[in-house]
Structure 1
């Protein structure tokens, strides 16, 4: 697992020396100078360290700067004075920048700066599963379908031309997040029927969360069949800045679309840091009353392999189980034995999950398995896929059911109820499976109490 530097911020003139020294040392100490205490440290992403060290003098580098509060006009003026291209957010306390290594390094002394990260690429972690968790009983016995609850799916996009995901009805907003965030075009293009034109991953995920099953008379319905979907589509390649813009859009528009849940079937590797910009974004969403769900990752069966974005106490981390309801999938990432933090929250169906196939006809990504089982002629509209990507929307859909049943629930209460209602998995430890296997029916019953 990679480590991160926490360095004492000092004069800009000596910042460039940082890149040549071992991790974990204060800059002033490394240079043999008396330490300059200004009451804060700046966390520097090790990937960015490497990029800045190897980039040519005129080679553009993209980075994310996170601040202790929303950057003031004074800070923004200081940034602009360096000549970097700037990407501003509406809600999140951060900015994106594109500039040379020297320009990026000159930003390390900005007041209020807490961390700086490279705009890294992120990875998507990709009929019987719905009855397995009792979601169908929630519809029929409790009359709860997720009605009125919006689920934001940050992913490759959603194919709103699929019969299970009709745009304007099931998918109430579908947004394409611009690939060139520093260009002259719009960052967001809204009201698109199909934003999943090159992947299919997001369509499969969205269908699992709330698809209608209409293509085959309800055979492959999602978990929260009455919930609304809002797509934030980045295409087949997702980067940190694209994900952050998606979070920012959701935070700004959550009231208009009734968004209560953010589903994230993607992530990275490495260690957890609360100052990572993705974790700052998820905490901001949590504090705004949104339930944030993340995939655990597909780097199992080894220990200490969790997606670092799912480790935070304020998110729900989903491991993948087989559809027998008893077995953890071999690929599902594990936490650390005995560690109170590095563990999944819960396990949900993540193997051979059948859900909508985008009109592209594919679901591409190396982080999950597509068409792992033969579903015959159903494959015209559906695909069977495995991965924690597939487990995550089962939980996101369940959360929508819980929030229709009891709209007053807070994100922390939702997480606690999910854990308390889970079915124990004998033979496994909490660092592997969390509280146990998802039980949607019991979770909604408990939410009603």
Structure 2
């Protein structure tokens, strides 16, 4: 048992060090510099991780270990922290061209848009065309790491009416925890919507991929608390599952795994009730200066208000990086898993190391400086970090150009964009979002939602098509190939003012499905978008 002055810490190592040697030194009496001179007790062995183990440590021992050359960071496990929160922030599209009573035959407009590099809509709101496709994700596994998935929704049926949803006991694979009996349900609706975009038979790209759900704790819907899996166990379970996959004799490779993560970590503070300050591009701004010279508007410094009239200056929210979660993401990639992450809906710039905004900080509650231009975890530029394209188009002469959604994160740290505004897909029967009847079966539901949460599964679905075609692609090669095939026609003004839709130094990479051309298969329907802005 831990001593009274110890607490659980996650010790995270740099990539490529001698992991086994370090863990052995930490767990034995070695008299070596930089490690406690006692047998340290393990709190969580992190069965799927090479670089992380949770130990019972004193604060003094933690500080001593942080100086060790092999140690990247030491953190309280994120599920035990109270200063950060996990969310998806998707929202219902109440001002779109349709209400929740959806028209028969309507589809996810991203299918048609990303099947062509030129803008298919060209100023039209509705295009009745065929979504042509050659591949359907056969032989690929897609894991929806989210609020859960409604297992019996008809969207998961294959062409023979057999469900492609596969129930999996992640606890049995991991062996270190027991999966809740109500894990396989979705009381929120978000995870079901995401799954439909990636792999639904009507709304999705990978219409014959297998679909798995890993409900992550903190995203469960109303009345579903405690049915999800904590981050540490969740990531390790997927690593172990993919690691244990057998080689498919037909391809010579494991079945490809694509993991979609349409969520992220953030923190918030109330400007009117706490002291605060910012360091923006190397210059310090006190709260008195911000109020006197900038009217208290923190958006001048890249921080965005999300709830007005709370305190004198409102409530402000910013993305948060968590080293352990980012390490888990990198370990998934190292295992050969293709990861796709929503970049976030806070309209923040995500910079890269060495960039002008990378070290921007906010002083929260007059005690803690937090970086706010580095994006939210999970994050790794080695994976797909997805921004959202809006349903509105920009008219430039006779051409129509895509623009990013006004809520989407952007900047050099976002490496691909896909349609994420007003996306139609399935939702669960217990969805928290406004919804209409699913037109294939009135006993089920569908809805139109907005968010980078909706853009990410567009990418996941297309990645599954590439993986079907080339199952041996490494994550690094997959990233190169998919981004290399992107179109580059996103509206990107040079000014960086709020509302300009600038990518703020990011590349205009728009998802494109190269396998949608000259196809023997087709999918017809009404692909609806809008256009009402001209420049």
Shared fold per TM-score greater than 0.5: yes
Q: CA RMSD in A?
A: 4.0
The structure-2 alpha-carbon separation of the partners of 1:158 and 1:100, relative to structure 1 and needing over 3 Å to count, comes to farther
Query: 2-side partners of 1:431 and 1:235: how far apart?
Result: 33
Alignment match, 2:426 = 356
Partner of 1:247: 235
Which stretch of the first structure deviates more once superposed, 74-83 or 291-300? 74-83
- Secondary structure of the residue aligned to 2:456 is helix
Show the counterpart of 2:185. Answer: 196
1:234 corresponds to which of 205, 216, 223: 216
Counterpart of 1:172? 166
What secondary structure, in the 3-state scheme, does the structure 2 residue paired with 1:205 have?
helix
Tell me how far 1:263 sits from its aligned partner. Answer: 1.2
Q: How does 1:30-429 map to 2 (within 5 A)?
A: 62-68=8-14, 69-70=19-20, 72-76=23-27, 81-82=39-40, 85-97=43-55, 108=66, 112-120=70-78, 121-126=85-90, 127=107, 128-134=109-115, 143-165=134-156, 169-175=163-169, 187-189=177-179, 195-212=184-201, 218=202, 221-237=203-219, 242-254=230-242, 255=245, 258-269=255-266, 276-300=323-347, 305=373, 307-309=375-377, 312-324=380-392, 326-335=402-411, 342-362=412-432, 370-371=433-434, 375=436, 380-428=444-492
Determine helix, strand or coil for the equivalent of 1:439. Answer: coil
For structure 1, the residue ranges without an aligned partner over 5 or more in a row are 1-56, 213-217, 336-341, 363-369
Q: TM-score, normalised by structure 1?
A: 0.67
**Structure 2: gaps of 5 or more residues:** 30-35, 79-84, 91-106, 121-129, 221-225, 247-253, 267-317, 352-372, 394-401, 493-501, 519-535
Classify 1:129/1:245 alpha carbon distance in 2 versus 1 (closer, same or farther; 3 Å). Answer: same
Q: State the SS of the aligned residue for 1:427.
A: coil
Structure 1 residues 271 and 189: CA distance shift in structure 2, 3 A: closer
Distance change (3 Å), C-alpha of 1:418 and 1:432? farther
1:200 to 1:73, Cα distance in 2 relative to 1, 3 A: farther
How far apart are 1:246 and its partner, in Å?
2.0
Contact 1:266 1:297 in 2 (8 A): yes
Q: Deviations for 1:308-355, whole angstroms, at most 9, x for unmatched residues?
A: 4465331111001123571211000122xxxxxx33111111112122
Residue 296 of structure 2 corresponds to none
Partner residue, 2:102: none
Deviations 1:172-211 (A, max 9, x none): 2444679xx9xxx962529x78523432222221221112
Preserved contact between residue 350 and residue 386 of structure 1 (Cα < 8 Å):
yes
1:172 is paired with a residue whose SS is coil
Cα distance change on mapping 1:236 and 1:352 into 2, 3 Å: farther
CA 235–130 in structure 1, closer or farther in 2 if over 3 Å, else same: farther
Which of the pair is proportionally richer in helix?
1
Give the TM-score normalised by structure 2.
0.57
Q: Greater relative contact order: 1 or 2 (C-alpha under 8 angstroms, separation 6 or more)?
A: 2
Q: Does the 8 A contact of 1:117 with 1:277 survive in 2?
A: yes
* Residues matched between the structures, number: 358
Q: Does 1:438 align with 2:511?
A: yes
